[in-house]
A and B are shown apart, each in its own frame.
Chain A
Amino acid sequence: SQQREEDPQALSIQEGENATMNCSYKTSINNLQWYRQNSGRGLVHLILIRSNEREKHSGRLRVTLDTSKKSSSLLITASRAADTASYFCATRPDTGANSKLTFGKGITLSVRP
């Protein structure tokens, strides 16, 4: 299975600081995506990185992917209180017609004002 591990499980930082969240996976992937979920709400797509990409930026977000280590990191720069949420990485496998995303348990980010 594409067992996923994310670390840290919870992260608390001061507004303005950078937040780095990591995700590791076990099988070959087609792409890896990061999602945000505010408490009790839906999943919001943040960024997608393909298996042949190493780094991607979107606004204050920077995602890296190391397929040799089967890991990804999400960096949020200059964090804001509104960034407080749970962050999930999800992978799309590289095999067959499998169309599902496999999610991890998520990382809870708290940004203190």
Chain B
Amino acid sequence: EPEVTQTPSHQVTQMGQEVILRCVPISNHLYFYWYRQILGQKVEFLVSFYNNEISEKSEIFDDQFSVERPDGSNFTLKIRSTKLEDSAMYFCASTRERMLNGNTEAFFGQGTRLTVV
């Protein structure tokens, strides 16, 4: 069964450092998303991406964050200068169609646990 894969599974970084979280969406999917989940809290939307540009972003997704699809398979989330409060589980997701379609199921990766120390 196709799946979204994320690497690394766990990343520890020092405050102020840059991190890049990597995702390989399902190969025939066109829409990509990043969500995060701070420990014990709800899963929060960060950004959606289609056709090599951001289609929507939340207020969490400030100038410290950026996304990129550098090649035909990877989808990355970069945090330029990490803060302690960026510590969370980051989930990548992909869909075959726009979420406007009532049948669209989002496939999530296993997540990257980011710990900022």
A binds B: yes
A positions within 8 Å CB-CB of B: 4, 30-31, 33, 35, 40-45, 48, 50-52, 88, 90, 92, 97-106
Q: How many residues of B contact A (CB 8 A)?
A: 30
Q: Say whether B113 faces chain A, with CB atoms less than 8 Å apart.
A: yes
Q: Does B68 contact A (CB under 8 A)?
A: no
Q: A41-B110, A42-B110, A42-B111 are in contact. Are A104 and B42 (CB under 8 A)?
A: yes
Within 8 A of A (CB), among B66-115: 89, 91, 93, 98-100, 102-111, 113
22 contacting pairs across A/B (C-beta < 8 A): A4-B42, A30-B100, A31-B102, A40-B89, A41-B111, A42-B109, A42-B111, A45-B105, A45-B106, A48-B103, A50-B102, A90-B43, A92-B99, A92-B104, A97-B98, A99-B55, A99-B99, A99-B100, A100-B48, A101-B99, A103-B42, A103-B44
Docked-complex contact A100 and B108, CB < 8 angstroms: no
Other-chain contact of A45, B42, B89, B108 (Cβ < 8 Å) = B108
| Most chain B CB within a 10 A radius of its CB, from A45, A51, A99, A101 | A99
